[in-house]
Each structure stands twice: as C-alpha cells, then as structure tokens.
Structure 1
C-alpha cells in the first residue's frame, strides 16, 4: 500500500541537507570555466563567485563552497546546483515542448503535470484581469512574447532554461486555461522531475505577485 503521508519538516530538511551535500560534492569535480561553458552562468574571478538573474533576482553562488544568496526556497536552491552539474551546453532549440514530451520518462508524469498546470492557471490566473497578470509577469522579469495565447511570457529561470507560460483568460463562454512550455533543449539541462519542480516554482511566484497570501504549490 502506498504511503501518501507528507514528510515532516524535519524529515524534509534532512533529505534536503543530504541532497545538497551530494550536489556540492559533484560540482567540486568541475573548474569554474567548465561550469560557465556548460551552463552559461558567468563567473567573476575577482569575487570568486558565479552570478545570474532568475525571476528578476540576482543570484550569487560562491566558489568553491557553492553557497547561494539571497536565501531561496530549498528545492529552488538544489535545482540550481543540479543544473550546474547536468547542463551540457547544448544551444537553445527553435521549438517549445511540454513536459509530457520529455523523452526521459516524461510521458506519464509529464502528462499529469500538464493537466495540473492547466487547472492551476485556470484557478489562479485565467480569471484575473489580463493587465494585472501581465504586470506580475514583468515583475518577475518575464518577457511578453507573441503567441496564439491571450498572454504569453518567457521567464529566465536559469540561463539556458527559459520557461514559457501561456494563458487564455476566461470569458462569457469559456473558462480560463493555460500551459507551461519549455525549450526543446530542456532535457540537456534538467531531469523531468527537476524541470517540473522549477516550472511549478514559476507559477507559484507569479500567483504570489498579486496574492494576499503566499500560495504554496505542490503539483509535481
């Protein structure tokens, strides 16, 4: 019988500490130049730190201990370090894909994620005024782009890992809807699990730009 009990905060912190230690150990096998070449994350030799912009925030990563500032959600922190390990420098592709299109086990897990994202967007974003959502996107550094959606924004979450959010707003006949799309090179940078997690974070941060309370999403 499957145990669906959510882990306690203590257990979650223990898991995070173990995974963080493992992620840092993996990064110690690379030189800063190698990490920059594969990830497109810039390295400041004088300060001995990496830096890049993510969701409108300037992220700094010290070397060689790989501490991050500002303080981030623990899984956001871990995903950044995983990206620094798994990235292989593949150029961005010309197409967008859904998580269900990931070749690495994405069909079943990705399809479920895509459905849940559509529901979340309909519930929290598709019923809001378009200008309000557009402003929220821009506050997070989102670039408004042309598409068939009512509103489409591309977010720079990691240097070679943009995430596109497409939103169709509700009208008198139809409920709101939406999709999360990734660049076709995404599998060269994160696993399907990490891609789903970081996509969830984008939705969560966007919703919280105009929410009276912090919404915590756990859809992947």
Structure 2
C-alpha cells in the first residue's frame, strides 16, 4: 500500500546540447523533502531538495538567506527504500549540501575532493550540472505545495531543535544544581569558620 505522505510526479525537460532530462519527483509531505530521481545522457542518480527552513532554528530570527537546500548525496529516511543513489554528472559524484537563496543565480555545485573536502567541479561538468540542477529548481519552484512543504520542514526543524535544547537544558540544570550545592557547602564552611573565630 502506498504511503499517503509521499506524492510522486514525473516530468521531462529539454537540456539542449545535454539531451532530455527525465525527472521523477517524490515529495514527503511529513518532512518537506522532495527526492528527484534524474536520468539523462551522462546524468544518473538522485538529488534531495528541502526548504531552507529545514536547517534553521525556529527560535532564532528568520535568516532570510535561503530558499532551499540541495543535497545530492544525503537522503531523508523516508526515501531509504527507493534505491536512492548520489547524483553523478559526467561520472563525477556531486556532494552537498548547497544552500540557495531565492535570488541566487550563481550557486556552485561541488564534488568531494581527494582530501574529503568539497571542491569545485571542472568547468564543463559545472555547466552540465548547472543545466540539470536549474531544471530541477524550475520544477521545484513550480510546485503548488511549496507552502505545505515549508511548514512541514519547519515542524521537522522544531522537533530536531527541541531535542537539542532539551538535552542542553537538562545538562545545564544538572550543572546549576551542582553549583548551588557547592555554594551552599562553601557558605556552611564559611559560617562555621566565622563562628569558630568569634568564640
């Protein structure tokens, strides 16, 4: 039985000299993530797009600097059973995450370098990858459920940060309790010493 939280859509885009790109999109309305399975000449694999709110602390002022996050190599657990594999263009595996602002037309996809750190793609692959990702972004921006996905991403972020802050609060309460106990012990000793000197 299909999961009612997951919606699937299929589209295709002409990438000009790069051929025809077929896109199968699976949206998880619980997390706000959308997994795009991509296929074109020299292009294979998946990329996950998430509203930028998925990574933002809801208790902090809105950074306003992000529209979405592109993850070509890490996928949400909801998509684990769908044979997700990292996106490769010209046999180069892309990595992420890459955060994109709404007005950002100059983002740069990256790959994992020999040292394990992200590095720029070779120029030809960069242009090819941008053509592919721009088509995916166009598909993303035309979605009718963006508000719903963004709300879901905010709820997911709230759950994540709630766990983080709850753990911090527990640890800090414990530290504060030890400090109060230590202060009370020191006050008792000082009182005893004053009493001894006054006798």
Taking structure 2 as the reference length, the TM-score comes to: 0.27
Which gives a bigger RCO, structure 1 or 2 (Cα 8 Å, sep 6+)? 1
